[in-house]
Amino acid sequence: MTRRCASAALLLALVLGFAAPAGAIETTRFGIEPARGDQLDVDLRPGHTTSSAIVVWNRRDEPLTLELHLSPATVNADGTVDLAGPDAPVRWSSVRPRRVTLAAGQRREVSLTVRAPRHLPDVLGTVAVIAEPVPDEGDPTPAVLQRLALVGHFHRAGRDLPDLWPLAGVALLAIVAVFAQIVVSRRRLRGSSWSR
């Protein structure tokens, strides 16, 4: 069991080492890449939702089911990636669908959706989209687990949204003032029609 874990960790480390600067990454069974460009760059506007397309594909001659999930990621100075770091980018993000069944040779887009908070931190961080095959029922546990991680780099694309609560209070006061003016005007009209 320890040997299997070590083999899986080595494969994941090798894949992550090439995932940061490269576009497409693949194993003998499947692959993953950004739908556009060599790197998954996600421009975040405070308080807005952004979606980026990712492509997964099956290299086998038979159907393959992939499970997708997210992990915090840190890109090191030498370009390698650690699956660790701030978890805020993962909390903002989701990948849909989370499970994809691909026919032989099929390619399919999945979506990384990021719902940015109104106030973004100075350092936005990165998130890893991890794809791994779902074992078929009855298949023995593989000796080496194959996982690929595509790193999404978050960038700020706008200023933080202002806090609108003071404006909402002013708007409510304006509505109350207009309503009060309408009531007073109607009473004056009623009073002047009775006096005739």
* Host domain of residue 136: 2-156
| 28-49 residue pLDDT tens | 999 999 999 888 999 998 889 9
Short-list 9, 97, 81, CA closest to 40: 81
| 77-119 residue pLDDT tens | 998 999 999 889 999 999 999 999 999 999 999 999 999 998 8
Q: Give the chain's length.
A: 196
Segment 158-164 shows an average pLDDT of 60
122 and 150 together in one domain: yes
81 and 173 together in one domain: no
137 and 172 together in one domain: no
18 and 37 together in one domain: yes
Q: What is the pLDDT of residue 109?
A: 97
**DSSP string over the chain:** -HHHHHHHHHHHHHHHHHHTT-S-EE-SSEEEEESSSSSEEEEE-TT-EEEEEEEEEE-SSS-EEEEEEEEEEEE-TTS-EES-S-SHHHHHEEEESSEEEE-TT-EEEEEEEEE--SS--S---EEEEEEEEPPPTTPPPPSS---EEEEEEEEE-SPPPPP-HHHHHHHHHHHHHHHHHHHHHHHHHHHHHH--
Higher pLDDT, 69 or 19: 69
Non-local (6+) Cβ contacts of 33 within 8 A are 23, 24, 25, 54, 55, 150
Rounded distance between C-alpha atoms, residue 61 and residue 67, angstroms: 19
177 and 81 together in one domain: no
Segment 153-157 shows an average pLDDT of 88
Q: What is the pLDDT of residue 191?
A: 67
134 and 110 together in one domain: yes
What's the total number of domains in the chain? 2
Token code pair at residue 116 = 């940015």
107 and 150 together in one domain: yes
Rounded distance between C-alpha atoms, residue 147 and residue 66, angstroms: 10
Say if CB 27 and CB 81 are below 8 A apart: no
118 and 184 together in one domain: no
56 and 150 together in one domain: yes
35 and 7 together in one domain: yes
Pairing of strands 40-44, 148-156: parallel
137 and 182 together in one domain: no
**DSSP string over 13-25:** HHHHHHHTT-S-E
182 and 95 together in one domain: no
Q: What is the CATH number of the domain that holds 47?
A: 2.60.40.10
